[in-house]
Amino acid sequence: MEKKQTKKWLQSTAITLAAALLLAGCGTDQGQGTSSAQAVSAGSASELTYALATSPDSLDAGASGFAVSHRVFRNIFDSLVSQQKDGTFQPWLATGWKKSEDGKTYTFTLRQDVTFQDGTKFNAEAVKANFDHIYSGGRGQSIALLGPFQSAEVVDEYTIKIILSKPFEPLLSGLSSGFLGISSPKAIQEFGDQYGKHPVGTGPFKFVKWSENDEIVLEKNPDYKWGPPTAENKGPSHLDKLIFKIIPEEATRIGSVQSGQGLAAETVPPQLISALQNDEKLKVDQSITNGTAFSLYFNTKNEPWNDVKARKAVHLAIDVDTIVNTLYLGTYQRAWSPLTPGMLGYDVTLENKLAPDVAKANQYLDELGWKKGADGIREKDGKKLIIRYLEPSPNREKRNDIAAIVQQQLKQIGVQVNLTITKDTNTPISKGEYDIFGNSQVKADPDILTNLLRSDRMFTKGGTNWAQLSDPNIDKLLEQGSSESDPEKRKAIYTKIQQYMIENAIALPIYVFPYTVAHSKSVEGLKFDLLGYPQFYDVQIRN
Protein backbone atom coordinates (compact mmCIF):
# COMPACT_ATOMS: atom_id res chain seq x y z
CA MET A 1 0.00 0.00 0.00
CA GLU A 2 2.80 2.35 0.93
CA LYS A 3 4.63 1.72 -2.35
CA LYS A 4 1.45 2.40 -4.36
CA GLN A 5 0.93 5.69 -2.56
CA THR A 6 4.53 6.72 -3.18
CA LYS A 7 4.32 5.87 -6.87
CA LYS A 8 1.13 7.92 -7.21
CA TRP A 9 2.79 10.82 -5.35
CA LEU A 10 5.81 10.75 -7.65
CA GLN A 11 3.69 10.47 -10.81
CA SER A 12 1.64 13.47 -9.79
CA THR A 13 4.77 15.44 -9.00
CA ALA A 14 6.42 14.61 -12.33
CA ILE A 15 3.35 15.77 -14.24
CA THR A 16 3.39 19.05 -12.32
CA LEU A 17 7.03 19.72 -13.15
CA ALA A 18 6.56 18.82 -16.80
CA ALA A 19 3.88 21.48 -17.01
CA ALA A 20 6.12 23.97 -15.20
CA LEU A 21 9.06 23.32 -17.54
CA LEU A 22 6.82 23.79 -20.55
CA LEU A 23 5.70 27.15 -19.26
CA ALA A 24 9.27 28.18 -18.44
CA GLY A 25 10.25 27.30 -22.00
CA CYS A 26 7.56 29.69 -23.25
CA GLY A 27 9.25 32.52 -21.36
CA THR A 28 6.72 33.00 -18.57
CA ASP A 29 6.59 31.97 -14.94
CA GLN A 30 2.95 32.88 -14.48
CA GLY A 31 1.82 29.29 -14.55
CA GLN A 32 4.41 28.15 -12.02
CA GLY A 33 3.31 30.78 -9.57
CA THR A 34 -0.27 29.61 -9.78
CA SER A 35 0.72 25.99 -9.31
CA SER A 36 2.87 26.72 -6.28
CA ALA A 37 0.28 28.94 -4.69
CA GLN A 38 -2.17 26.08 -4.75
CA ALA A 39 0.37 23.65 -3.48
CA VAL A 40 1.89 25.42 -0.50
CA SER A 41 -1.43 25.59 1.22
CA ALA A 42 -1.37 21.78 1.32
CA GLY A 43 1.64 21.74 3.69
CA SER A 44 1.38 20.92 7.37
CA ALA A 45 2.26 23.62 9.89
CA SER A 46 4.64 21.37 11.82
CA GLU A 47 5.94 18.85 9.30
CA LEU A 48 8.70 19.50 6.83
CA THR A 49 9.11 17.17 3.87
CA TYR A 50 12.59 17.54 2.35
CA ALA A 51 13.42 15.79 -0.92
CA LEU A 52 16.86 14.17 -1.12
CA ALA A 53 18.60 13.35 -4.40
CA THR A 54 20.11 10.11 -3.17
CA SER A 55 19.65 7.65 -0.35
CA PRO A 56 21.97 7.38 2.67
CA ASP A 57 23.97 4.19 2.98
CA SER A 58 23.70 4.14 6.76
CA LEU A 59 22.54 6.38 9.61
CA ASP A 60 25.35 5.16 11.84
CA ALA A 61 27.48 8.30 12.06
CA GLY A 62 30.56 6.24 12.80
CA ALA A 63 30.13 4.03 9.76
CA SER A 64 29.01 6.24 6.87
CA GLY A 65 31.10 8.39 4.59
CA PHE A 66 28.21 9.75 2.53
CA ALA A 67 27.32 13.44 2.54
CA VAL A 68 23.64 12.61 2.17
CA SER A 69 23.79 10.45 5.29
CA HIS A 70 25.24 13.41 7.20
CA ARG A 71 22.30 15.59 6.11
CA VAL A 72 19.95 13.16 7.84
CA PHE A 73 21.84 11.99 10.92
CA ARG A 74 23.08 15.49 11.81
CA ASN A 75 19.54 15.98 13.16
CA ILE A 76 19.79 12.87 15.34
CA PHE A 77 23.31 13.32 16.73
CA ASP A 78 25.00 16.17 18.57
CA SER A 79 28.77 16.72 18.73
CA LEU A 80 31.19 17.54 21.51
CA VAL A 81 32.09 20.94 20.01
CA SER A 82 30.71 23.36 17.44
CA GLN A 83 32.85 24.94 14.71
CA GLN A 84 31.94 28.54 13.85
CA LYS A 85 31.98 30.23 10.46
CA ASP A 86 35.32 31.88 11.31
CA GLY A 87 36.85 28.48 12.03
CA THR A 88 36.91 28.85 15.84
CA PHE A 89 35.24 26.39 18.23
CA GLN A 90 32.62 26.68 20.96
CA PRO A 91 31.18 24.22 23.49
CA TRP A 92 28.27 21.92 22.63
CA LEU A 93 28.02 18.58 24.44
CA ALA A 94 31.37 19.47 25.98
CA THR A 95 31.30 22.53 28.23
CA GLY A 96 35.02 23.11 27.77
CA TRP A 97 38.34 21.48 26.95
CA LYS A 98 42.05 21.81 27.52
CA LYS A 99 44.88 20.81 25.23
CA SER A 100 48.13 19.61 26.77
CA GLU A 101 51.34 21.50 26.07
CA ASP A 102 52.63 18.73 23.81
CA GLY A 103 49.35 18.82 21.84
CA LYS A 104 48.71 15.11 22.33
CA THR A 105 46.01 15.11 25.02
CA TYR A 106 42.63 16.85 25.00
CA THR A 107 40.60 16.83 28.23
CA PHE A 108 36.88 17.53 27.78
CA THR A 109 34.38 18.37 30.49
CA LEU A 110 30.85 17.32 29.53
CA ARG A 111 27.34 18.63 30.08
CA GLN A 112 25.51 16.89 32.92
CA ASP A 113 21.95 17.56 31.76
CA VAL A 114 21.89 15.55 28.53
CA THR A 115 20.09 12.28 27.84
CA PHE A 116 19.94 10.12 24.76
CA GLN A 117 16.64 9.70 22.99
CA ASP A 118 16.31 6.22 24.51
CA GLY A 119 16.46 7.71 28.00
CA THR A 120 20.01 6.66 28.84
CA LYS A 121 22.47 9.13 30.29
CA PHE A 122 25.09 11.00 28.29
CA ASN A 123 28.45 10.90 30.06
CA ALA A 124 32.12 10.13 29.61
CA GLU A 125 31.51 6.38 29.38
CA ALA A 126 29.14 7.02 26.48
CA VAL A 127 31.74 9.10 24.63
CA LYS A 128 34.38 6.41 25.15
CA ALA A 129 31.96 3.75 23.87
CA ASN A 130 31.52 5.77 20.68
CA PHE A 131 35.24 5.81 19.96
CA ASP A 132 35.40 2.09 20.67
CA HIS A 133 32.52 1.57 18.24
CA ILE A 134 34.26 3.59 15.53
CA TYR A 135 37.46 1.62 15.85
CA SER A 136 35.71 -1.73 15.88
CA GLY A 137 33.73 -0.81 12.74
CA GLY A 138 36.53 0.75 10.72
CA ARG A 139 34.28 2.37 8.09
CA GLY A 140 33.18 5.80 6.91
CA GLN A 141 34.96 9.09 7.56
CA SER A 142 35.06 8.92 11.33
CA ILE A 143 38.43 7.20 11.77
CA ALA A 144 40.17 9.66 9.45
CA LEU A 145 38.63 12.58 11.37
CA LEU A 146 40.18 11.29 14.59
CA GLY A 147 43.64 11.25 13.04
CA PRO A 148 46.33 9.71 15.29
CA PHE A 149 43.78 8.78 17.97
CA GLN A 150 45.31 6.43 20.48
CA SER A 151 42.78 6.01 23.26
CA ALA A 152 39.96 7.58 25.25
CA GLU A 153 40.18 7.54 29.04
CA VAL A 154 37.31 8.23 31.43
CA VAL A 155 38.59 10.58 34.12
CA ASP A 156 35.28 10.80 35.98
CA GLU A 157 31.62 10.63 35.02
CA TYR A 158 31.72 13.90 33.09
CA THR A 159 35.37 14.22 32.11
CA ILE A 160 37.11 12.37 29.34
CA LYS A 161 40.60 12.47 27.86
CA ILE A 162 41.38 11.88 24.22
CA ILE A 163 44.97 10.80 23.79
CA LEU A 164 46.76 11.08 20.46
CA SER A 165 50.02 9.51 19.38
CA LYS A 166 51.13 12.89 18.01
CA PRO A 167 49.74 16.44 17.76
CA PHE A 168 46.74 16.68 15.42
CA GLU A 169 45.38 20.20 14.91
CA PRO A 170 42.26 19.14 12.92
CA LEU A 171 40.92 17.13 15.89
CA LEU A 172 38.37 19.73 17.06
CA SER A 173 37.12 20.21 13.51
CA GLY A 174 36.57 16.47 13.27
CA LEU A 175 34.82 16.33 16.62
CA SER A 176 32.43 19.06 15.44
CA SER A 177 31.37 16.95 12.45
CA GLY A 178 28.24 14.84 12.38
CA PHE A 179 30.46 11.92 11.39
CA LEU A 180 31.70 11.99 15.00
CA GLY A 181 28.23 12.65 16.42
CA ILE A 182 27.60 10.82 19.68
CA SER A 183 25.43 7.69 19.62
CA SER A 184 23.68 5.91 22.46
CA PRO A 185 25.95 3.02 23.56
CA LYS A 186 22.84 1.08 24.58
CA ALA A 187 21.42 1.33 21.06
CA ILE A 188 24.75 0.42 19.45
CA GLN A 189 24.87 -2.74 21.54
CA GLU A 190 21.20 -3.58 21.12
CA PHE A 191 21.09 -3.32 17.31
CA GLY A 192 24.63 -4.45 16.47
CA ASP A 193 25.21 -4.56 12.70
CA GLN A 194 21.76 -3.09 12.15
CA TYR A 195 22.43 0.04 14.20
CA GLY A 196 22.67 2.10 11.00
CA LYS A 197 18.94 1.49 10.54
CA HIS A 198 18.09 2.28 14.18
CA PRO A 199 20.15 5.36 15.16
CA VAL A 200 19.77 6.94 18.59
CA GLY A 201 21.52 10.15 19.63
CA THR A 202 20.98 13.20 21.80
CA GLY A 203 19.88 15.50 18.95
CA PRO A 204 16.71 17.53 18.35
CA PHE A 205 15.04 14.78 16.29
CA LYS A 206 14.39 11.11 17.04
CA PHE A 207 14.55 8.42 14.39
CA VAL A 208 11.14 6.88 13.60
CA LYS A 209 11.48 4.75 10.45
CA TRP A 210 13.38 4.22 7.21
CA SER A 211 11.46 2.86 4.23
CA GLU A 212 14.11 1.75 1.74
CA ASN A 213 14.38 4.01 -1.33
CA ASP A 214 11.32 5.91 -0.16
CA GLU A 215 11.58 8.00 2.98
CA ILE A 216 13.21 8.49 6.37
CA VAL A 217 11.01 9.88 9.11
CA LEU A 218 12.23 11.76 12.19
CA GLU A 219 10.16 13.34 14.94
CA LYS A 220 10.79 16.01 17.54
CA ASN A 221 12.80 15.15 20.64
CA PRO A 222 10.59 16.89 23.24
CA ASP A 223 13.32 16.90 25.90
CA TYR A 224 15.91 18.69 23.78
CA LYS A 225 17.42 21.85 25.25
CA TRP A 226 21.16 21.65 24.49
CA GLY A 227 21.40 22.90 20.92
CA PRO A 228 24.61 24.23 19.35
CA PRO A 229 25.66 27.86 19.95
CA THR A 230 24.98 28.62 16.28
CA ALA A 231 21.24 28.04 16.82
CA GLU A 232 18.70 30.62 17.94
CA ASN A 233 16.38 27.96 19.30
CA LYS A 234 17.05 26.98 22.93
CA GLY A 235 14.39 24.31 23.35
CA PRO A 236 12.78 21.48 21.37
CA SER A 237 12.55 21.77 17.58
CA HIS A 238 9.78 23.95 16.14
CA LEU A 239 9.01 21.06 13.76
CA ASP A 240 7.04 18.08 15.00
CA LYS A 241 8.21 15.89 12.15
CA LEU A 242 11.01 15.94 9.59
CA ILE A 243 10.52 13.67 6.58
CA PHE A 244 13.32 13.02 4.09
CA LYS A 245 11.79 11.86 0.81
CA ILE A 246 14.26 10.07 -1.46
CA ILE A 247 13.69 11.23 -5.05
CA PRO A 248 16.71 10.67 -7.33
CA GLU A 249 15.00 11.93 -10.51
CA GLU A 250 15.58 15.69 -10.47
CA ALA A 251 12.45 16.73 -12.39
CA THR A 252 10.28 14.82 -9.95
CA ARG A 253 12.23 16.09 -6.96
CA ILE A 254 11.91 19.77 -7.87
CA GLY A 255 8.35 19.26 -9.03
CA SER A 256 7.50 18.04 -5.54
CA VAL A 257 8.23 21.56 -4.23
CA GLN A 258 6.44 23.32 -7.04
CA SER A 259 3.37 21.18 -6.49
CA GLY A 260 3.53 21.66 -2.72
CA GLN A 261 3.68 17.93 -2.00
CA GLY A 262 7.00 18.69 -0.35
CA LEU A 263 8.18 21.95 1.17
CA ALA A 264 11.86 21.73 0.19
CA ALA A 265 14.14 19.87 -2.21
CA GLU A 266 17.90 19.70 -2.54
CA THR A 267 20.24 19.90 -5.55
CA VAL A 268 18.31 22.16 -7.89
CA PRO A 269 19.52 21.70 -11.48
CA PRO A 270 21.12 24.88 -12.90
CA GLN A 271 18.59 25.21 -15.72
CA LEU A 272 15.76 25.54 -13.20
CA ILE A 273 17.31 27.96 -10.71
CA SER A 274 16.27 31.12 -12.54
CA ALA A 275 12.67 29.95 -13.01
CA LEU A 276 12.38 28.96 -9.35
CA GLN A 277 13.85 32.27 -8.19
CA ASN A 278 11.11 34.04 -10.14
CA ASP A 279 8.38 32.00 -8.48
CA GLU A 280 6.81 34.28 -5.87
CA LYS A 281 5.98 31.34 -3.62
CA LEU A 282 9.46 29.79 -3.61
CA LYS A 283 12.95 30.66 -2.48
CA VAL A 284 16.29 29.24 -3.63
CA ASP A 285 19.16 29.08 -1.12
CA GLN A 286 22.75 28.21 -1.95
CA SER A 287 25.64 27.34 0.30
CA ILE A 288 29.18 26.66 -0.88
CA THR A 289 30.36 23.33 0.45
CA ASN A 290 33.78 23.24 2.08
CA GLY A 291 36.44 20.66 1.37
CA THR A 292 37.83 19.86 -2.04
CA ALA A 293 36.44 21.17 -5.30
CA PHE A 294 35.34 18.65 -7.89
CA SER A 295 38.64 17.91 -9.61
CA LEU A 296 40.05 15.43 -12.09
CA TYR A 297 42.88 13.46 -10.49
CA PHE A 298 45.57 11.87 -12.63
CA ASN A 299 46.80 8.41 -11.78
CA THR A 300 50.47 9.32 -11.68
CA LYS A 301 51.60 5.69 -11.72
CA ASN A 302 50.41 4.79 -15.21
CA GLU A 303 52.42 5.52 -18.35
CA PRO A 304 52.55 7.94 -20.06
CA TRP A 305 50.68 9.96 -17.43
CA ASN A 306 53.47 9.44 -14.92
CA ASP A 307 55.27 12.15 -16.94
CA VAL A 308 54.36 15.63 -15.77
CA LYS A 309 54.68 17.01 -19.29
CA ALA A 310 51.99 14.59 -20.53
CA ARG A 311 49.70 15.60 -17.68
CA LYS A 312 50.32 19.28 -18.37
CA ALA A 313 49.37 18.76 -22.00
CA VAL A 314 45.99 17.49 -20.87
CA HIS A 315 45.58 20.43 -18.48
CA LEU A 316 46.26 22.87 -21.31
CA ALA A 317 43.82 21.16 -23.67
CA ILE A 318 40.84 21.19 -21.28
CA ASP A 319 38.86 24.42 -21.33
CA VAL A 320 37.41 24.46 -17.82
CA ASP A 321 35.56 27.76 -18.25
CA THR A 322 33.68 26.39 -21.24
CA ILE A 323 32.74 23.26 -19.30
CA VAL A 324 31.48 25.16 -16.24
CA ASN A 325 29.64 27.86 -18.17
CA THR A 326 28.04 25.40 -20.59
CA LEU A 327 26.82 22.95 -18.01
CA TYR A 328 26.01 25.14 -15.02
CA LEU A 329 24.84 28.37 -16.69
CA GLY A 330 26.62 30.67 -14.27
CA THR A 331 25.24 28.98 -11.16
CA TYR A 332 28.47 27.13 -10.28
CA GLN A 333 31.81 28.78 -9.49
CA ARG A 334 34.84 27.64 -11.46
CA ALA A 335 37.49 26.06 -9.20
CA TRP A 336 41.15 27.08 -9.33
CA SER A 337 42.50 25.06 -6.44
CA PRO A 338 41.81 21.54 -5.18
CA LEU A 339 40.67 23.26 -1.95
CA THR A 340 37.45 25.28 -1.87
CA PRO A 341 37.67 29.06 -1.25
CA GLY A 342 36.25 28.86 2.28
CA MET A 343 39.04 26.62 3.58
CA LEU A 344 41.87 27.75 5.80
CA GLY A 345 44.93 28.15 3.57
CA TYR A 346 43.02 28.43 0.28
CA ASP A 347 45.55 29.87 -2.20
CA VAL A 348 43.90 32.80 -3.94
CA THR A 349 47.02 33.38 -6.06
CA LEU A 350 46.11 30.31 -8.12
CA GLU A 351 43.03 32.05 -9.50
CA ASN A 352 43.23 32.85 -13.23
CA LYS A 353 46.61 31.14 -13.56
CA LEU A 354 45.41 28.20 -15.67
CA ALA A 355 44.29 28.93 -19.20
CA PRO A 356 43.75 26.57 -22.14
CA ASP A 357 46.55 26.53 -24.71
CA VAL A 358 46.02 23.85 -27.34
CA ALA A 359 49.16 24.78 -29.28
CA LYS A 360 51.34 24.31 -26.23
CA ALA A 361 49.56 21.07 -25.36
CA ASN A 362 50.36 19.74 -28.84
CA GLN A 363 53.95 20.92 -28.45
CA TYR A 364 54.37 18.97 -25.21
CA LEU A 365 53.05 15.77 -26.75
CA ASP A 366 55.22 16.24 -29.84
CA GLU A 367 58.25 16.64 -27.59
CA LEU A 368 57.36 13.37 -25.86
CA GLY A 369 57.36 11.57 -29.21
CA TRP A 370 53.62 11.07 -29.63
CA LYS A 371 52.72 11.57 -33.30
CA LYS A 372 49.24 11.82 -34.78
CA GLY A 373 48.11 8.81 -36.82
CA ALA A 374 45.75 8.64 -39.76
CA ASP A 375 42.72 8.70 -37.43
CA GLY A 376 44.01 11.79 -35.61
CA ILE A 377 44.96 9.86 -32.47
CA ARG A 378 48.58 10.07 -31.42
CA GLU A 379 50.76 6.98 -31.41
CA LYS A 380 54.17 6.00 -30.09
CA ASP A 381 55.98 2.68 -30.36
CA GLY A 382 52.87 1.14 -31.87
CA LYS A 383 50.60 2.25 -29.00
CA LYS A 384 47.80 4.79 -29.18
CA LEU A 385 47.64 7.66 -26.69
CA ILE A 386 44.65 6.73 -24.55
CA ILE A 387 43.28 8.06 -21.26
CA ARG A 388 40.97 5.83 -19.26
CA TYR A 389 38.51 8.21 -17.61
CA LEU A 390 36.65 6.66 -14.67
CA GLU A 391 33.58 8.54 -13.41
CA PRO A 392 31.79 7.14 -10.34
CA SER A 393 28.76 9.47 -10.12
CA PRO A 394 26.68 9.10 -13.27
CA ASN A 395 23.72 11.16 -12.05
CA ARG A 396 25.48 13.78 -10.00
CA GLU A 397 25.95 17.41 -11.04
CA LYS A 398 26.33 16.56 -14.73
CA ARG A 399 29.66 14.87 -14.10
CA ASN A 400 29.03 12.46 -16.94
CA ASP A 401 28.61 15.50 -19.21
CA ILE A 402 31.96 16.84 -17.99
CA ALA A 403 33.53 13.56 -19.02
CA ALA A 404 31.92 13.76 -22.46
CA ILE A 405 33.18 17.32 -23.04
CA VAL A 406 36.68 16.40 -21.87
CA GLN A 407 36.58 13.53 -24.33
CA GLN A 408 35.84 15.93 -27.19
CA GLN A 409 38.37 18.54 -26.08
CA LEU A 410 41.23 16.05 -25.76
CA LYS A 411 40.45 14.65 -29.19
CA GLN A 412 41.73 18.00 -30.54
CA ILE A 413 45.25 17.17 -29.40
CA GLY A 414 45.10 13.54 -30.47
CA VAL A 415 44.26 11.92 -27.14
CA GLN A 416 41.62 9.21 -27.14
CA VAL A 417 39.48 9.19 -23.99
CA ASN A 418 37.86 5.89 -23.06
CA LEU A 419 35.00 6.67 -20.67
CA THR A 420 33.79 4.33 -17.98
CA ILE A 421 30.83 5.80 -16.10
CA THR A 422 29.82 3.47 -13.31
CA LYS A 423 29.07 3.36 -9.61
CA ASP A 424 31.10 0.16 -9.29
CA THR A 425 34.59 1.63 -9.21
CA ASN A 426 36.23 -0.47 -6.50
CA THR A 427 37.74 -3.01 -8.88
CA PRO A 428 39.27 -0.63 -11.44
CA ILE A 429 40.60 1.64 -8.70
CA SER A 430 42.07 -1.26 -6.73
CA LYS A 431 43.80 -2.52 -9.87
CA GLY A 432 44.90 0.95 -10.95
CA GLU A 433 42.93 0.59 -14.19
CA TYR A 434 42.20 4.29 -14.66
CA ASP A 435 44.13 7.39 -15.69
CA ILE A 436 41.65 10.10 -14.63
CA PHE A 437 39.22 9.95 -11.72
CA GLY A 438 36.78 12.73 -10.79
CA ASN A 439 36.10 13.42 -7.13
CA SER A 440 35.15 16.00 -4.50
CA GLN A 441 35.13 15.65 -0.71
CA VAL A 442 33.68 17.57 2.23
CA LYS A 443 35.57 18.58 5.35
CA ALA A 444 36.09 21.85 7.20
CA ASP A 445 39.88 21.55 7.53
CA PRO A 446 42.62 21.53 4.85
CA ASP A 447 43.91 18.31 6.38
CA ILE A 448 41.45 16.76 3.93
CA LEU A 449 44.42 16.75 1.54
CA THR A 450 46.16 14.13 3.69
CA ASN A 451 43.77 11.40 2.64
CA LEU A 452 44.12 12.49 -0.99
CA LEU A 453 47.88 12.80 -1.26
CA ARG A 454 49.81 10.96 1.44
CA SER A 455 51.67 7.90 0.22
CA ASP A 456 50.13 5.62 2.84
CA ARG A 457 46.56 6.58 1.88
CA MET A 458 46.18 4.49 -1.25
CA PHE A 459 42.70 3.18 -1.96
CA THR A 460 43.78 -0.38 -1.24
CA LYS A 461 44.79 0.78 2.26
CA GLY A 462 41.51 2.56 2.97
CA GLY A 463 42.52 6.00 1.68
CA THR A 464 41.53 8.13 -1.28
CA ASN A 465 44.88 8.86 -2.87
CA TRP A 466 43.37 8.71 -6.36
CA ALA A 467 46.54 10.18 -7.85
CA GLN A 468 48.54 7.33 -6.30
CA LEU A 469 51.05 9.99 -5.35
CA SER A 470 54.13 8.98 -3.43
CA ASP A 471 56.27 12.03 -2.71
CA PRO A 472 58.26 12.23 0.56
CA ASN A 473 58.25 16.03 0.45
CA ILE A 474 54.46 16.15 0.24
CA ASP A 475 54.20 13.56 3.01
CA LYS A 476 56.38 15.81 5.17
CA LEU A 477 54.33 18.92 4.41
CA LEU A 478 51.07 17.11 5.18
CA GLU A 479 52.51 15.95 8.47
CA GLN A 480 53.58 19.49 9.33
CA GLY A 481 50.18 20.85 8.34
CA SER A 482 48.28 18.50 10.64
CA SER A 483 50.54 19.09 13.66
CA GLU A 484 51.14 22.85 13.36
CA SER A 485 49.04 24.89 15.80
CA ASP A 486 49.86 28.34 14.38
CA PRO A 487 47.12 29.15 11.81
CA GLU A 488 49.40 31.36 9.72
CA LYS A 489 52.05 28.66 9.49
CA ARG A 490 49.37 26.15 8.56
CA LYS A 491 48.17 28.42 5.76
CA ALA A 492 51.69 28.64 4.36
CA ILE A 493 52.05 24.85 4.38
CA TYR A 494 48.78 24.20 2.56
CA THR A 495 49.59 26.95 0.06
CA LYS A 496 52.74 25.04 -0.89
CA ILE A 497 50.77 21.82 -1.31
CA GLN A 498 48.12 23.42 -3.54
CA GLN A 499 50.77 25.01 -5.72
CA TYR A 500 52.55 21.67 -6.03
CA MET A 501 49.30 20.00 -7.14
CA ILE A 502 48.74 22.55 -9.91
CA GLU A 503 52.35 22.95 -11.04
CA ASN A 504 52.74 19.18 -11.29
CA ALA A 505 49.29 18.66 -12.82
CA ILE A 506 48.28 16.21 -10.09
CA ALA A 507 44.69 17.43 -10.23
CA LEU A 508 42.68 19.73 -12.48
CA PRO A 509 40.06 21.66 -10.43
CA ILE A 510 36.73 22.01 -12.25
CA TYR A 511 33.98 23.48 -10.03
CA VAL A 512 33.06 24.44 -6.48
CA PHE A 513 29.81 22.77 -5.57
CA PRO A 514 27.02 25.06 -4.37
CA TYR A 515 24.56 23.02 -2.34
CA THR A 516 21.24 24.39 -3.60
CA VAL A 517 17.84 24.10 -1.97
CA ALA A 518 14.47 25.19 -3.32
CA HIS A 519 11.83 25.66 -0.67
CA SER A 520 8.50 27.25 -0.04
CA LYS A 521 8.73 30.75 1.41
CA SER A 522 6.64 29.40 4.25
CA VAL A 523 9.81 27.60 5.42
CA GLU A 524 11.78 30.02 7.57
CA GLY A 525 15.02 29.64 9.52
CA LEU A 526 16.78 27.15 7.25
CA LYS A 527 20.52 27.51 7.81
CA PHE A 528 23.67 25.82 6.56
CA ASP A 529 26.62 24.62 8.56
CA LEU A 530 30.30 25.05 7.76
CA LEU A 531 30.22 22.02 5.49
CA GLY A 532 27.35 23.54 3.51
CA TYR A 533 24.73 21.12 4.81
CA PRO A 534 21.20 22.20 5.84
CA GLN A 535 20.28 22.62 9.50
CA PHE A 536 16.65 22.19 10.52
CA TYR A 537 16.70 22.89 14.25
CA ASP A 538 15.71 26.57 13.82
CA VAL A 539 13.21 25.95 11.02
CA GLN A 540 9.63 27.11 11.41
CA ILE A 541 6.79 26.83 8.95
CA ARG A 542 4.75 29.97 8.55
CA ASN A 543 1.02 29.41 8.37
pLDDT in tens, 305-324: 999 999 999 999 999 999 99
Please name the residue ranges forming H helices in 387-466.
399-411, 426-430, 448-453
* φ, ψ dihedrals at 389, nearest 5°: -100, 115
Query: How far is the CA of 224 from the CAs of 78, 82, 93, 234, 439, in angstroms?
Result: 11, 17, 12, 8, 37
State residue 139's pLDDT score: 67
Please name the residue ranges forming H helices in 296-373.
308-317, 320-328, 358-367
pLDDT of 534 above 90? yes
pLDDT per position as a tens digit, 156-202: 999 999 999 999 999 999 999 999 999 999 999 999 999 999 999 99
State residue 43's pLDDT score: 41
Average pLDDT of 344-360?
A: 96
Q: Which sign does the torsion angle of CA 163, 165, 168, 174 carry?
A: negative
Instruction: Specify the amino acid at residue 59.
Output: L
pLDDT of 281 above 60? yes
| Residue-level length of the chain | 543
Q: Which sign does the torsion angle of CA 476, 479, 481, 483 carry?
A: negative
pLDDT per position as a tens digit, 57-106: 999 998 888 889 999 999 999 999 999 988 899 999 999 999 999 999 99
Half-sphere CA count of 510, side-chain side, radius 13 A: 25
Q: Residue 109 and residue 104: Cα distance in Å, rounded?
A: 17
pLDDT of 301 above 90? yes
β-pairing verdict for 282-288 and 264-266: unpaired
Cis amide prior to 304 (ω within 30 degrees) = yes
Q: Which sign does the torsion angle of CA 20, 239, 524, 342 carry?
A: negative
Q: Residue 501 and residue 465: Cα distance in Å, rounded?
A: 13
Contacts of 444 (CB under 8 A, 6+ apart): 83, 87, 173, 176, 177, 290, 291, 343, 530, 531
The model's pTM: 0.84
Q: How many helices (H) and strands (E) does the chain have?
A: 17, 26
